[in-house]
Chains A and B, each alone.
Chain A
Amino acid sequence: MSQHQPLNRRVITPPFLVLGVLFLIAVYYLGVRFVNGMGFVTNLNGGYAWGLWVVYDIVIGTALACGGYALAVVVYVANKGKYHPLLRPALLASLLGYALGGIGAFIDMGRWWQFYNILLPWHMNFNAVMLEVGLCVAAYILVLFIEFSPVVLERFGARNLRQKLNKVLFFFIALGVLLPTMHQSSLGSMLIAMGHKVHPLWQTLYLQPLLAVLTAFTMGFAVVVFEASLSSVGFGRPAETPLLSGLGKAIVGLIAVYLVFRLGEVVVQGKLGLLFAGDLGSLLFLLETALFIYPLVVLLSPAARCNSRLLLWSAVSMLFAGSLYRLNAFLITYNPGPGYSYFPSVPEIMVTVGLVALEVMVFLYVVKRFPVLHREERR
Chain B
Amino acid sequence: MKRRDFLKASVGGAAAVLTGGRVEARPNLEPAPNAVGMLYDAALCVGCKACVSKCKAVNGMAPVIEGDWYSWDSARDLSKDTLNVIKVYRDGEAQVKDRVVNGFAFEKRSCMHCVDPGCISVCPVTALRKDPQTGIVSYHADACIGCRTCMTGCPYNVPQFDYNNPFGEIHKCQMCNQPGVERIDKGQITGCAEACPTGATLFGTRTALLEEARRRMSLKPGESYSYPRGDVRHPDSRYAREAPAYQQHIWGEKEAGGTNVLHISAIPFDKLGMPPLGERSHASISETVQHTIYSYMALPAVVLGGLTYVVRRNMNDDEGDES
Measured CB to CB, the residues of A under 8 A from B are: 1-3, 34-40, 42, 44-47, 49-50, 75-79, 81, 84, 105, 108-115, 117-118, 120, 123-125, 127-132, 134, 154, 166, 169-171, 173-175, 177-178, 181-182, 185-186, 189-190, 192-197, 205-210, 213, 336-340
B14 to chain A, nearest CB (A): 8
Interface-forming stretch among B49-57, B61-69, B71-79, B211-219?
Answer: B71-79
A44-B163, A76-B310, A195-B118 known; 16 new pairs, CB 8 Å cut-off, are: A49-B148, A49-B152, A49-B161, A75-B314, A76-B311, A110-B147, A112-B145, A125-B120, A125-B124, A128-B124, A134-B124, A170-B315, A173-B315, A174-B307, A193-B153, A337-B275
Q: Are A128 and B277 in contact (CB under 8 A)?
A: no
The number of residues on chain B lying at the interface, defined by a beta carbon within 8 Å of a beta carbon of chain A, is 75
Q: Are B164 and A76 in contact (CB under 8 A)?
A: no
Residues of B within 8 A of A115 (CB): 145
Does B181 sit within 8 A of A, measured CB to CB?
Answer: no
B210 to chain A, nearest CB (A): 24
Q: A48 CA to B63 CA in the complex, in Å?
A: 23
A109 to chain B, nearest CB (A): 5
A43 to chain B, nearest CB (A): 10
Does B18 sit within 8 A of A, measured CB to CB?
Answer: yes
B283 to chain A, nearest CB (A): 6
Q: A3 CA to B322 CA in the complex, in Å?
A: 8
Q: Are A77 and B304 in contact (CB under 8 A)?
A: no
Q: Are A76 and B126 in contact (CB under 8 A)?
A: no
Interface-forming stretch among B91-99, B232-240, B241-249, B286-294?
Answer: B286-294
Q: Are A46 and B283 in contact (CB under 8 A)?
A: no
Q: Are A127 and B121 in contact (CB under 8 A)?
A: yes
Chain B's closest residue to A47 (CB) is B157
Chain B's closest residue to A130 (CB) is B124
Q: A47 CA to B156 CA in the complex, in Å?
A: 9
Query: Would you give the 0/1 interface string for B115-127, flagging 1 where the beta carbon is closer than 8 Å to chain A?
Result: 0001011111111
Contact pick for B323, options A3, A38, A129, CB 8 Å: A3
Measured CB to CB, the residues of B under 8 A from A are: 3, 7, 14-15, 18-20, 76-79, 118, 120-127, 141-149, 151-153, 155, 157, 160-169, 256, 273, 275-277, 282-283, 285-287, 289-291, 293-294, 300, 303-304, 307-308, 310-315, 317-318, 321-323
Residues of B within 8 A of A193 (CB): 118, 121-122, 152-153, 282-283, 285-286
Q: Are A130 and B311 in contact (CB under 8 A)?
A: no
7 nearest CB pairs, A to B = A110-B146, A39-B163, A111-B146, A49-B151, A195-B282, A131-B124, A174-B307
Contact pick for B123, options A44, A109, A128, A185, CB 8 Å: A128
Q: A35 CA to B167 CA in the complex, in Å?
A: 9
Residues of A within 8 A of B144 (CB): 110-111, 114, 117
Q: A217 CA to B40 CA in the complex, in Å?
A: 49
Chain A's closest residue to B119 (CB) is A193
Contact pick for B256, options A78, A181, A195, A207, CB 8 Å: A195
Contact status of A36 and B166, CB under 8 A, knowing A117-B125, A193-B286: yes
Contact status of A76 and B315, CB under 8 A, knowing A129-B286, A209-B293: yes
Q: A128 CA to B323 CA in the complex, in Å?
A: 44
Q: Are B163 and A42 in contact (CB under 8 A)?
A: yes
Contact status of A208 and B124, CB under 8 A, knowing A50-B152, A79-B314, A117-B143: no
Q: Are A127 and B290 in contact (CB under 8 A)?
A: yes
Contact status of A118 and B163, CB under 8 A, knowing A112-B146, A171-B308, A209-B289: no
Q: A117 CA to B276 CA in the complex, in Å?
A: 34
Q: Are A128 and B155 in contact (CB under 8 A)?
A: no
Q: A209 CA to B20 CA in the complex, in Å?
A: 9
Q: A177 CA to B76 CA in the complex, in Å?
A: 48
Q: A271 CA to B285 CA in the complex, in Å?
A: 20
* Complex A-B: 30 CB contacts under 8 Å: A2-B323, A35-B166, A45-B163, A46-B79, A47-B157, A76-B314, A79-B310, A79-B314, A84-B318, A109-B146, A111-B141, A124-B124, A124-B125, A124-B126, A125-B123, A125-B126, A127-B290, A129-B122, A174-B304, A181-B303, A192-B282, A193-B285, A196-B275, A196-B277, A205-B285, A205-B289, A209-B18, A209-B289, A338-B273, A340-B157
